[in-house]
Amino acid sequence: MLLFVRLVLLAIFAGQFTVPASAVAAPGFAQQPICWISGDDTLRLNDVAQRADAWTCDGSISDWGAARQLIRIDLRGRAADPATIRHAEFDRHEFEKLTATLIDENGESRSRTYGFGDTWLGASSLRSMIDLPEFDGQPIAVIFTLDGSQWPEALAEADLLAEPSVPPIAGLAHLLAALICGLLLAPIVFDFGYFRALREPFPLWHALFCAMAAVQTAAVSGLIPLVTAIDFASELDITYLSLDVMVAATLLFASNFIETDFVSRRGRAILLSLASLALASGLTTTFYPEWFGAWIDHFYFGAYLAILATYFAVLWRARESGSRMASYLILGFAPFSAIVVIQFASVTLLPQIGTFDETWPQNFALLFEVVATALGVADRFISIKHERDQARDEARSLEKLSERDELTGLRNRRSLDTRFDSLVAAGFHTIAVIDIDHFKPINDIFGHPYGDSVLVCVAAALRASDDKDLIAFRIGGEEFLLMLRGKDAAERAEARRRAITARTLATMDGLDRPITASMGLLDFTAVADDPDLDFWSLYTRADQLLYDAKCAGRNRTGRDALEWFVPQADGAASAVA
């Protein structure tokens, strides 16, 4: 009996002094949506859990600089069953340690502690997610113990979810972001091709814009921390600066892309200044945020509003002046600019409505801009290529006119001077000078128009369209010159000389006698490789042979071949037979 009494007393005392290891003193305050406590690192949840007077449940968290923050979110009265809550998603900010505690009405609790690296990305790089501790009961509150962070309100505004918005490693959102990055990078290949063809700078600026747009999309969509091990501070620097470099590249692209005739030098200078302003704003707000304090967002987005307003003013003026390319830039940059305006409004004018997550609107806006500007670059490439082709054709036409005899269509003396060396190098080693016999009486008797017709007929006889080894020139007046190559060059030249008589008899009406021609033919194959060889020395010798043919009775050929060549000196003949 005595033993039984002792056991009963022992059980009673044990019941009075034993507390479950997982229990926290039951909270002793009424239902409140959000409550918080700020303190130093000695602050303990067990010490304040049941002290309703220790919690602040109205207003917002004001002591951002406290070493430790306790944020209590009441789960009672929610539409969703608190027992189904398994995850928390909140704005992504760096911290040292985060402990999530689920607690029920009896004070039973379960806790789980995380470092910043233990969280995973939400739908964008702006959001973090954690798994809440497993809890078998019906929780009435979740309490976050946050150490080493200046952003406790991110947890006060956390979304408590039954299912994560994205998987812990990579979800559909990340795959879509990666696809967009690939599309953003694709035009770079064409940009380098355009630059190689045009040697204009605007394709390179467009390539830089595309690259920075891809980096920006990867950064805000959470791809960079998924594939790299960089720290959070470096990730933020990449996120901020990629946007600023992207905008600067857009402005530099515009200054070089718009047609020269439709934007003034002042307009281009303004665009260059805006690019410098975008970079300066980004660098100062990224690396020296303490200069701006709580006004940093106002300054940053305010600067961009000024940049965008000036940018569109310059482009609109260019468009009104007739620029075709300005429309591509206005259309392409409009969606991104609208997002900047919304961000400015959400930060400065309507902060009470809530934050604006620009991640996916911006991703699609950048994709739209890349597509629009890529089409513009292609259009500009085609336009410039067309202009250059047209200019090249005109140059060729002018060159053709300057090197062609206007009356006969044969190559003229200027063409012979410029092409002689290349013709010799190509094997044209026979020169024949041809002169129409008694041409002056034809002009005197029949008139100059008739004489011109004779010259055209002679040119047709000399021009052998099927002989690629013969080129005919009109030197002046009734004098022509042939350059030939091949072993039978002399025979083919003689055939062309005889063809003059046959063709004029067949085509010219009113002639009372045949039209003949004399020719001086010189074969200089033996001296073709002489470095001192020059056209006028050869022409002088061929002209002498022509003179000999004239003196011998006309309608014949004076022919010779050079065995060696002596450079001309003091006006003496330089060709020696």
Catalytic residue list: 478
Distance CA 335, CA 73 (A): 38
**367 and 183 in contact (C-beta within 8 Å)?**
yes
Burial (CB count within 10 angstroms: exposed 0-12, middle 13-18, buried 19+), residue 540: middle
Tokens 């940093």 belong to residue: 296
Token pair belonging to 213:
């747009």
> Which CA distances in Å does 336 have to 85, 149, 157, 423, 483?
36, 32, 27, 61, 67
10 Å Cβ neighbour count for 366?
Answer: 28
SS3 content of the chain, % helix, strand, coil (to 5): 55, 15, 30
**55 and 89 in contact (C-beta within 8 Å)?**
no
**526 and 561 in contact (C-beta within 8 Å)?**
yes
10 Å Cβ neighbour count for 521?
Answer: 25
Residues 243, 249, 255, 259, Cα dihedral to 10°: -110
Q: In what order do the strands lie in the sheet with 470-476?
A: 470-476, 479-484, 430-436, 517-523, 557-561
SS3 337: helix
Radius of gyration of the chain, Cα coordinates, nearest whole angstrom: 46
Task: Write the DSSP assignment of 116-141 as a string of letters.
Answer: GGG-EE-SSTTEEEEEPPP-SS-EEE
Residue type, 546: L
**542 and 433 in contact (C-beta within 8 Å)?**
yes
Distance CA 249, CA 241 (A): 12
Tokens 């019906």 belong to residue: 138
Q: In what order do the strands lie in the sheet with 87-91?
A: 120-121, 127-131, 87-91, 159-161
Residue of 71, 70, 85 whose CA lies nearest to 134: 85
Q: Which helix (H) or strand (E) holds 344?
A: helix 325-344
Token pair belonging to 259:
């047609």
Token pair belonging to 405:
């005899």
Residue of 577, 565, 454 whose CA lies nearest to 521: 577
